[in-house]
Structure 1
Amino acid sequence: MTGPAAAAHHDPGLAPLLLTGFEPFAGDGHNPSWPAAQEAARRLRDRGVRAVAVRLPCSFAGSTEALERALAEHQPGTVIACGLAGGRTRVAVERVAVNLQDARIPDNSGAQPAGQAVDDAGPAAYFSTLPVKRIVAALRDAEIPAELSLSAGSFVCNHLFYELMARADTGSVRTAGFIHVPWDENAPRRTVPVGAHGDDRACPEPWPTVPGAQLAEALVIAALEAARPASDLDVPDGPLY
């Protein structure tokens, strides 16, 4: 058997899979990454996969501390972290975590680093060890809008991605990476300026969304692909700019 379904025959003796999502931030009351991670873990357990979901605080220092606690408690073999990328129209499988914190807005604890390193002694970047191209292809086959992404930004998502990869291939973790999701159907409405000169007038406008059920299924597919003992796809899929 090949494809994501093959991983349904998961050995319960293997190290568990850890999915993480974030709490709301920037004044919003919802963050779709957390319910997606929760539902994906439930669906994976229904398929015989040892999976657990953990919610992380949306703060630079707090997310690292919570990640370390989760790694110590659950000793996962695979970790897939998930965060919100409001405005994106596709599930974005991130490829690179960069050693940079440059926050346009404060995190939930009020921290707002400007051009600082995640780790002064760390490398410039880490690559995801998930089969990123295989995951994108599997999501597209499932008719879930998906793309390969080369930037997780420079806010808490990228920070957490970098800290996760710094801990990958140590302890129990062997495979890890980050996935950004768009807003789901519970997205708030955004206020955008109108008029030729971007004056004070504004109008509410919906964010691009993907149904929450699809976001959860995207994480399920990513987890099952990560569990398959197969190489990543050897096909070109990089952006031109």
Structure 2
Amino acid sequence: MRILVTGFEPFGADTINASAQTLELLPQSLGEHQILTGMLPVSFGRSAWVLDELIAVHVPDVLVLLGEAGGRTQINLERFAVNQIHARIADNDGAQPVGERIEPDGPARREATVVVPSELTVSEDAGRFVCNRIAYYAYGLSIPAQFIHVPAVRPEKQRALVGAETDASPPVSSELTVAQLAASLTKYLQDICFHHGPRR
């Protein structure tokens, strides 16, 4: 099986994105299963077609999409994505939609299509920023997909500036490290390998 895991570039005033850092620590394989990685732009307009390009190159069996949320202290599986985007700050292309629908004729929400037992906490609100936009798109694809928010972990003495961009809450500090994020997500990928999808 081939699992494509994506992260996001930094955005806002931050120079670090914990989802991108976590990607660097994931294994390239789990037994016979391949773990492939790719980076998405923090862009309402470009993120979906960049994901399409990554899918065309890697031909994955499963998608796991990572993003960071400054208002979270733990890893959250996002069960739903909603058909709305609302930006408190502009994305990295300068776009700042307010209350717009992602797909004019699309359903009000879509549900994650990867279903495996996991110890990770489930969230039912992916926010309205680019994370929600790409989750809504991915949940409509034929490939099983799961979006995951990680806390905005930063190196010692640095503070995340993101927060209300992704959730209606200010930035909070998480006691987790990037290494711990990667370890938890590796365990989740192992669960996917055991429970989900075809093998190649």
Q: TM-score interval w.r.t. the shorter chain?
A: 0.7 to 0.9
Whether contact under 8 Å (2:87, 2:129) holds in the other structure is yes
Q: Does 1:75 align with 2:31?
A: no
What are the Cα deviations for residues 172-213 of structure 1, in whole angstroms up to 9, with x where unaligned? x2x21100001224273268xxxxxxxxxxxxx972241111
What are the Cα deviations for residues 36-74 of structure 1, in whole angstroms up to 9, with x where unaligned? 12322xx25164421111011111111111101011111
Q: Any idea what SS the aligned residue of 2:50 has?
A: helix
| Residue identity in the other structure for 1:153 | G
Which residue of 1 is the match for residue 18 of structure 2? 32
Residues 61, 102 of structure 1: alpha-carbon distance in 2 compared, 3 angstrom cutoff: same
Q: Any idea what SS the aligned residue of 2:183 has?
A: helix
Task: Please give the root-mean-square deviation of Cα atoms over the aligned residues, in Å.
Answer: 2.0
Q: Does 1:61 align with 2:31?
A: no
Alignment partners' CA distance in 2, 1:44 and 1:179: 19
Map 1:55-204 → 2, pairs under 5 A: 55-131=39-115, 134-135=117-118, 137=119, 146-167=120-141, 169=142, 173=143, 175-186=144-155, 188-189=158-159
Q: Does 1:23 align with 2:9?
A: yes
Whether contact under 8 Å (1:183, 1:210) holds in the other structure is no
Identity of aligned residues (%): 35
Q: How many residues align?
A: 186
Structure possessing the higher relative contact order (Cα contacts under 8 Å, 6 or more residues apart): 2
Q: Any idea what SS the aligned residue of 1:166 has?
A: coil
Q: Which has the higher helix share?
A: 1
Question: TM (normalized to structure 1)?
Answer: 0.72
Structure 1 residue 162: deviation in Å?
0.6
Q: Which moved further from structure 2: 112-121 or 213-222? A: 213-222
Alignment partners' CA distance in 1, 2:154 and 2:96: 29
Whether contact under 8 Å (2:69, 2:150) holds in the other structure is yes
| Residue identity in the other structure for 1:159 | R
Structure 1 stretches of 4+ with a deviation exceeding 6 A read none
Map 1:203-214 → 2, pairs under 5 A: 207-214=173-180
Structure 1 residue runs without a partner (length 5+) = 1-13, 138-145, 192-204, 231-241
What are the Cα deviations for residues 65-103 of structure 1, in whole angstroms up to 9, with x where unaligned? 110101111110000000001131110111001101011
| Residue identity in the other structure for 1:164 | A
Alignment partners' CA distance in 2, 1:60 and 1:80: 19
Structure 2 residue runs without a partner (length 5+) = 162-170
| Residue identity in the other structure for 1:207 | S
Structure 1 residue 158: deviation in Å?
0.3
Structure 1 residue 223: deviation in Å?
1.5
Alignment partners' CA distance in 2, 1:131 and 1:46: 19
